[in-house]
Amino acid sequence: MMDEILEEFPRRFQALKEAVGQVMVGQDEVVDLVLTALFADGHCLLEGLPGLGKTQLVKTLSEALGLKFSRIQFTPDLMPADVTGTNIIEEDEHGRKRYAFREGPIFSQLVLADEINRATPKTQSALLEAMQERTVTSWGETRPIDRPLLVLATQNPIEMEGTYPLPEAQLDRFLFKVLVPRPGRSELVEIVERSTRSHPPAAQTVMEREELLRWQSTVRDVAAAPQVLDFAARLVEASHSDGARAPELVDRYVRFGASPRAAQSLVLAGKVRALADGRPQLAYMDLRWAAPAVFRHRLVLGYEAQVDDVTADKITAALLEAVPDLAEDAA
């Protein structure tokens, strides 16, 4: 059975990646990370300049998966009920009036939260329950959201005027923070050629909802040795200034380290990576691969980091260098 899984999952992962590639040009690392989050049943925060295809990526992914897609354009006047839904008064054929719940766009399967940092904290917090619990509570009643639910949120890193930075509690709900780079010249030429045709390319549906849910369940069954899980825990511990093996950059620049959810994210993302490589067991290299996208939004840096141009990625690199694969007491 496991041999069949190790053969089938890499093939299906690659088929989905190729379907997205029918529309998207380049951005291989971005697509890999988003697909990893998808199979890990996690959410992604996409950060990049306007026009880099963040919205197109989400729409293309919904086409390739045949999932119900919704888009929420976050603005300062967006209200929580615009996200979750609300009760409205309906009148039946006998003229009797009653309250009925009208679902908001969060009741979907693939949700694009566009420019999420433009909404007020009150509206941003409306996503918290849905992202973590896959439920919405309104008017005293809790309603489940059908799985899968993948929230892909975008934000622009340079337009800070009129924005509301996401609080740490909400950032922690995202499995990954993915940086979307500018395309190279040859990629830009290909983007222009594809997008200016009379019939732009569209992604073919290569995976259905039931298969995706099955793979999400299978990923959690990937074996993980205790020493590899311990490595994930030690990485998170070292992100705190009082943690063992904390590097000098952490002591100097990190106000608050990563939460326990970071260790969970490392392991889940690493399991997807292992399975996509056709391996039955989580490895140290899987955690190292996932670490930048996992820690990027979970390390709260002080003002000195901005002055000295020290980023979360630099600190993550220092963590990976400072923390050995094997614990000293096990070596």
Q: For the chain, what is the HEC assignment? A: CHHHHHHHHHHHHHHHHHHHHCCCCCCHHHHHHHHHHHHCCCEEEEECCCCCCHHHHHHHHHHHHCCCEEEEECCCCCCHHHHHEEEEEEECCCCCEEEEEEECCCCCCEEEEECHHHCCHHHHCHHHHHHHHCEEEECCEEEECCCCCEEEEEECCCCCCCCCCCCHHHHCCEEEEEECCCCCHHHHHHHHHHHCCCCCCCCCCCCCHHHHHHHHHHHCCCECCHHHHHHHHHHHHHCCCCCCCCCHHHHHHEEECCCHHHHHHHHHHHHHHHHHCCCCECCHHHHHHHHHHHHCCCCEECHHHHHCCCCHHHHHHHHHHHCCCCCCCCC
Confidence band, pLDDT 50/70/90 cuts, at residue 331 = very low
* The pLDDT of residue 140: 76
Average pLDDT, the chain: 87
pLDDT digits (tens, 9 = 90+) for 229-252: 999 999 999 999 888 888 999 999
Confidence band, pLDDT 50/70/90 cuts, at residue 287 = very high
pLDDT digits (tens, 9 = 90+) for 251-264: 999 999 999 999 99
Percent over 90 (pLDDT), the chain: 43
